[in-house]
Amino acid sequence: MKKNVLLFTVVMVLALFLTGCETKIIESDDENINTINVQGSATVAAAPDEANILIRIETRADTAQRAEDDARAKANQVMGALKQHGVKEADIQTTQFSLNPQWDWTEEGQKFRGYMLYHVMKVTSKDVENTGKLVDAAITAGANAIDSVQFTLSKEKRKDVFGEALQRAAEEAESKAQSLGSTLGITVGKPTQIMEQNFNYIPYDYRGGVAMAETADAKMMPPTPISPQEVEVTATVQVNFLIE
């Protein structure tokens, strides 16, 4: 009876002490073992070490073959310009390619007006600081638009940053358990169970947007200023600690 009263009291105190938190004391199947369950969360900010650029090429022509030939010539020019800036061919991938007839609707009916070809290439670069130069090089070489610029973490760095976030989340869970134990007059022991609940990782999308045609003095202009912001990685863990 005293044990049940103690458990009820602990739960009520926790509800008042940490309203809305995922912290609770539970009784295991073994009547002689009680545990306290806490949640820890941590966010680590890190400078991105990789940039992903989506470059779009568009061509219009009277025939499908002409549209494809023009697009191929543009793509080769763009790829050549990127390679001159240190981009490897393996880091240039086609993500979208479409060729469709175009029609105008008139009172007399449909009127064929040629073919439209879209070719989108994804460029991955480790040279984050010079992303603006790559954008300018692509546009100058004939690209029609930059659909997006995304700053992210490489697989290697993402693993390291997530490990740090996970460690901090576990430390927060332990600190929370010890704080509750001190407040409630109980001794918190070793963890009996640890569960990774959540991993949140959001790359940084640059919202500037670039869509322009080459001008006579384009090469005289300074590089497009594109400055990456830090990327945040969040980890959450659920830990059961033994009540001694």
pLDDT tens digit sequence for 189-232: 999 999 988 788 888 887 655 444 443 344 545 677 788 889 99
The answer as to CATH 3.30.70.2970 being correct for domain 50-152 is: yes
Alpha helices in the chain (DSSP H): 2-17, 64-84, 131-140, 155-184
Could you give the angle at the alpha carbon of 16 between the alpha carbons of 14 and 18, nearest 5°? 60
The pair of structure tokens assigned to 57 is 């090429």
Return the higher-pLDDT residue of 15 and 115. Answer: 115
Provide the CATH number for the domain formed by 22-48+154-203+229-244 in this structure. 3.30.110.170
Helix axes 2-17, 155-184, angle to 10 degrees: 120
pLDDT score for 31: 54
Mean pLDDT (the chain) is 84
Q: CB-hemisphere CA count at 13 Å for 41?
A: 12
pLDDT score for 106: 84
3-state SS string over 44-98?
EEECCCEEEEEEEEEEEECCHHHHHHHHHHHHHHHHHHHHHCCCCHHHEEEEEEE
Domain boundaries, the chain: 22-48+154-203+229-244, 50-152
Query: Is pLDDT above 90 for 128?
Result: yes
Return the higher-pLDDT residue of 8 and 173. Answer: 173
What average pLDDT does the segment 50-75 reach? 97
Query: Is pLDDT above 90 for 18?
Result: no
Query: Is pLDDT above 80 for 99?
Result: yes
Query: Is pLDDT above 70 for 26?
Result: no
